[in-house]
Amino acid sequence: MVKIDEPLNKYTYTKTGGPADIYISVGNIEDTAKVIKYAKENNVPVTYLGNGSNIIIRDGGIRGIVVNLLKLNDITVTDDRLVAQSGAAIIDASEMALQHQLSGLEFACGIPGSVGGAVYMNAGAYGGEVKDCLSHVTAINEFGDIITLSLEELQLGYRTSRVQTEHLVVISAEFSLKKDKPYDDIKAIMDDLTERRESKQPLEYPSCGSVFQRPPGNFAGKLIQDSGLQGHRIGGVEVSKKHAGFMVNVDNGSASDYEALIDFVQAKVKELHGVTLHREVRIIGEKLK
Ligand X SMILES: Cc1cc2nc3c(=O)[nH]c(=O)nc-3n(C[C@H](O)[C@H](O)[C@H](O)COP(=O)(O)OP(=O)(O)OC[C@H]3O[C@@H](n4cnc5c(N)ncnc54)[C@H](O)[C@@H]3O)c2cc1C
Catalytic residue list: 159, 210, 280
Rounded to a whole number of angstroms, the minimum distance from the CB of residue 271 to ligand X is 27
**Alpha carbon distance 123, 129 (integer Å):** 6
* DSSP for residue 276: P
Rounded to a whole number of angstroms, the minimum distance from the CB of residue 274 to ligand X is 26
Instruction: Please identify, using beta-carbon distances, which residue of 93 and 223 lies nearer to ligand X.
Output: 93
Alpha carbon 219 to its chain centroid, in Å, reads: 20
Instruction: Please identify, using beta-carbon distances, which residue of 53 and 256 lies nearer to ligand X.
Output: 53
Instruction: Please identify, using beta-carbon distances, which residue of 101 and 259 lies nearer to ligand X.
Output: 259
Alpha carbon 247 to its chain centroid, in Å, reads: 15
CA–CA distance from 187 to each of 41, 89, 228 (Å)? 48, 18, 38
3-state helix, strand, coil in the chain (%, to 5): 30, 30, 40
Instruction: Please identify, using beta-carbon distances, which residue of 252 and 267 lies nearer to ligand X.
Output: 252
Rounded to a whole number of angstroms, the minimum distance from the CB of residue 121 to ligand X is 4
**Alpha carbon distance 205, 195 (integer Å):** 17
Rounded to a whole number of angstroms, the minimum distance from the CB of residue 179 to ligand X is 25
- The residues that touch ligand X, with contacts defined as CB under 6 A, are 13, 48-55, 69, 86, 111-114, 116-118, 120-121, 123-125, 163, 169-170, 201, 203, 207-209, 282
**143-39-31 Cα angle (round to 5):** 75
Residue 4 buriedness (CB in 10 A; 0-12 / 13-18 / 19+): exposed
